[in-house]
Amino acid sequence: MAVAFNAVEQAIDSLVRTEVRAINAYHVPPSTNMIKLDAMENPYGWPDDLRQAWLAKLAELSLNRYPDPSATELHQTLHRHLNLTSATGLLFGNGSDEIIQLLIMAVNKPDAKVMSIAPTFVMYDMIARFLGADYCSVPLDESFQLDVDSFITAMIEQQPALVFIAYPNNPTGNALSRQDVIRIIEAAPGLVVVDEAYHAFAEDSFVQDTCAYPNVLVMRTFSKVGLAGLRLGYLVGPVAWIEQIDKLRLPYNINTMTQASALVALAHWPILAEQALQICQDRAELAKQLAELPGVAVYPSAANFIVIRLDLAGPTATDVFEGLKAVGILIKNLSGQGGVLANCLRITVGSISENSQLLKGLAALLPSR
Ligand SMILES: *Cc1c(COP(=O)(O)O)cnc(C)c1O
């Protein structure tokens, strides 16, 4: 006999934490057979010879054994690849999402606060909430700029244990100025994590700055540079910080295939770097073409995506999002988040042909001038 639905609901209500029940699950829309310009993936695969080298490497693995818990070879190779000194350590996560979780767990004393800007990467807020930490944010203005003085005032008031700065920021695509990030670091009462998920498309980095401050860590991911399927992110910072966070990491979080695949990627890094360069060139071209469409304002981007805002006189962002979906093109509708994202859409830079199909699709949905 099946248990009554009501009884399950009752058990959940009495047992599951209130803040967990209140969370909406992270929704990933179906995308089979669509032109996928919604998730900041690299549109390019690996050339055939590299795929062959990768498969040969995978064939040697012993999946009956647990992975190397410290990913030693990957650790050493990436440490060299990034030119780090022995004072700087590395930690791997199952995507940088897992690292966000480890960081919040590490500082989550009773009443600890996590702080960032708004809008920004939603996982900071979500993970803080599901770990029971308070989350607060300071809004960006209509041009996605931050009033750094207000941010510093709020930090002094809120005393966050942890501040996340996405650099460049998602979903807006812009980056704060280096000087503004340094001001935040120097005024922060706690740890500042610079999230460089889009580092491959940006001009600057804070990796070297982790040596100069006691409270700065940098987080990166292999996802946006072409390996979203691997789930591999990493944290860079002073060895003593890394040792503390590492205690919270589950021993086998990076599986054998991911470790081996990332080593192949690092051995052939110029291929990924060249793809990133191509994406940056295509970003400039796509931005130019988008700006020529009627009623479209294009925001500057230092990442592999572009945010546009539609003029109120034309179709809404939701209309355009649905219209593109109907012809097989998936982008991200930011409109529902409201505020400075009202009537905004986020478009991942795709391949040249995907970008031109997107432009054609958009032109068909927007009124002609
Ligand atoms: C995509 C993204 C991440 C998450 O990366 P994963 O390594 O795939 O978990 C982290 N931060 C920002 C700002 C992102 O946009």
Could you give phi then psi for residue 181, rounded to 5 degrees?
Answer: -65, -40
**pLDDT digit string (tens) for 197-254?**
999 999 999 999 999 999 999 999 999 999 999 999 999 999 999 999 999 999 999 9
Tell me the average pLDDT across 345-353.
Answer: 98
Query: CB pairs under 8 A, 24+ apart, for 225-229?
Result: 225/42, 225/200, 225/272, 225/275, 225/276, 226/41, 226/42, 226/44, 226/265, 226/272, 226/275, 226/276, 227/42, 227/261, 227/262, 227/265, 227/272, 228/39, 228/41, 228/42
pLDDT band at 20 (very low <50, low <70, confident <90, very high): confident
**pLDDT digit string (tens) for 114-127?**
999 999 999 999 99
Ligand 1: residue whose CA is nearest its atom 5? 96
Whether the CA torsion 341, 342, 348, 351 is positive or negative: it is negative
Whether residue 92 is predicted with pLDDT greater than 80 in this model: the reply is yes
Q: Does the C-beta of 124 come closer than 6 Å to ligand 1?
A: no
Report the C-alpha gap between 287 and 295 in whole angstroms: 14
**pLDDT digit string (tens) for 257-267?**
999 999 999 99
Q: Report which of residues 24 and 258 the model is more confident about.
A: 258
Report the C-alpha gap between 309 and 317 in whole angstroms: 8
Ligand 1: residue whose CA is nearest its atom 12? 197
Q: What is the pLDDT of residue 141?
A: 97
- Ligand 1: centre distance to CA 343 (Å): 23
Pick the CATH number of 65-268 from 3.40.1440.60, 3.20.20.140, 3.40.640.10, 2.40.50.140: 3.40.640.10
Q: What is the pLDDT of residue 148?
A: 98
Q: Which amino acid is at 305?
A: F
pLDDT band at 24 (very low <50, low <70, confident <90, very high): confident
Whether residue 361 is predicted with pLDDT greater than 90 in this model: the reply is yes
Whether residue 368 is predicted with pLDDT greater than 80 in this model: the reply is no
pLDDT band at 369 (very low <50, low <70, confident <90, very high): low
Mean pLDDT of the chain: 96
Q: What is the pLDDT of residue 1?
A: 63
- Ligand 1: centre distance to CA 92 (Å): 14
Task: Supply the pTM of this predicted model.
Answer: 0.96
- Ligand 1: centre distance to CA 148 (Å): 24
Would you kindly state where each structural domain of the chain is located, as residue ranges?
2-46+271-365, 65-268
Q: Does the C-beta of 161 come closer than 6 Å to ligand 1?
A: no
Paired with 238 in beta bridges are 88
Ligand 1: residue whose CA is nearest its atom 1? 197
pLDDT band at 329 (very low <50, low <70, confident <90, very high): very high
**pLDDT digit string (tens) for 28-72?**
888 899 999 999 999 999 999 999 999 999 999 999 999 999 999
CATH class of 2-46+271-365: alpha beta
Q: Does the C-beta of 126 come closer than 6 Å to ligand 1?
A: no
Q: Does the C-beta of 95 come closer than 6 Å to ligand 1?
A: yes
